[in-house]
Amino acid sequence: MRLQFILSEIGLGLRRNVTMTISVILVTFVSLTFVGSAALLQGQIGKMKDEWYGKVEVSVFLCPKTSSAPTCAGGAVSDSQKSDIKAALDSPEIKPYVQHVYYESQEQAYKEFQKEFKDQFWASAATVDDMNSSYRIKLTDPKQYEVVADVVSGRPGVEDVQDEQKLFDKLFLVLNRATLLAGGLALVMLLAAVLLITTTIRLSALSRRRETGIMRLVGASTTFIQLPFMLEGAIAATVGALLAVGGLWVGVQYLVTDWLGQSVQWIPYVTTQDVLTVAPLLIGVAILLALISSVVTLSRYTKV
């Protein structure tokens, strides 16, 4: 009997405030879509870091004949200079940071260059002498790039030292800022959702003040009186959260997996499984917001 009464009160409240209820659903949907997008974007960054940071190398480019770098004043790198650079990389103070070192000749670099840019008309103008021979260094810890770079930078025969991680860091910086932007928008929209839920519950409580007054007079507990209002907000917020989960699932499936995944295949993307992992968080946030808004509002507007 009590359950039937509570359900009837919930239905009554939702019908009386249908416009506000729809507004709560839509605002919750938008806000939690931003929250989910921020979480998925952070997950995407994590996947890319796990995939790429394990493959990054430090490249020590040696002097070609045509270089104008001060360390290449003597022309192309000599065999003795190569030996000195290799000895520096094999030194005891550097050895713990280096997983392995391999040498790429100008001929090998030229083949890779032609393979990479075979469709570009200007690639045919390059020659073997334009290429850099190099030492490719795999680090045990990519964060220790500076330790290795300091040893070989500025040595005769070394034109440049590049760390691939720095290229990735620029990309990750952009993605992290996009995550912060999505998170900031999510906070603004969540605030709007809280205000809307609060307003909806307040209007519902005011429209039924006579009923709640009678319930109080006949001895109904505060929890029993407030429960229908709390459930109204929770239901509306949960529907918004489910719509957000559905929107994210569709977006990841069709935009990320089917479109980006087919166009750019060398990036590890988030999947619909990641959306399902985030889903409980979004639903939990929605219910929590509704409950907090309900408690704050009802403590004032259901008093008789």
Q: What is the pLDDT of residues 186-216, one digit of tens each?
A: 777 777 777 777 777 676 666 555 555 555 5
In the chain, which stretches have pLDDT less than 50? 1, 5-6, 301-302, 304
Task: With H, G, I as helix, E, B as strand and everything else as coil, classify residue 34.
Answer: helix
- The pLDDT tens digits of the residues spanning 261-284 come to 787 777 788 889 999 999 999 999
Q: Distance (Å, rounded) from C-alpha 171 to C-alpha 301?
A: 51
Note the pLDDT of residue 246: 94
**What six digits make up the tokens of 8?**
């009837």
CA angle 44, 49, 54 (to 5 degrees): 145
Of the candidates 200, 189, 141, 263, which has an alpha carbon nearest to the alpha carbon of residue 16?
200
Phi, psi (deg, nearest 5) at residue 163: -110, 120
- Torsion sign (Cα): 40, 46, 47, 48: positive
DSSP tag of 304: -
User: Is the distance from CB of 180 to CB of 273 less than 8 angstroms?
Assistant: no
Q: Distance (Å, rounded) from C-alpha 248 to C-alpha 35?
A: 10
Note the pLDDT of residue 248: 92
What residue ranges of the chain are covered by domains with CATH 3.30.70.3040? 58-164
Give me the helices (H) in the chain, please.
Answer: 2-16, 18-52, 79-89, 106-116, 145-152, 164-207, 209-217, 222-250, 261-263, 272-301
Q: Distance (Å, rounded) from C-alpha 304 to C-alpha 298?
A: 11
Is the whole model's pTM more than 0.75, yes or no?
no
Instruction: Compute how many other C-beta atoms are within 10 angstroms of the C-beta atom of residue 64.
Output: 20
DSSP tag of 77: P
Among left, alpha and beta (phi > 0; psi -120 to 50; other), residue 126 is beta
CATH fold for domain 58-164: Alpha-Beta Plaits (3.30.70)
Note the pLDDT of residue 304: 42
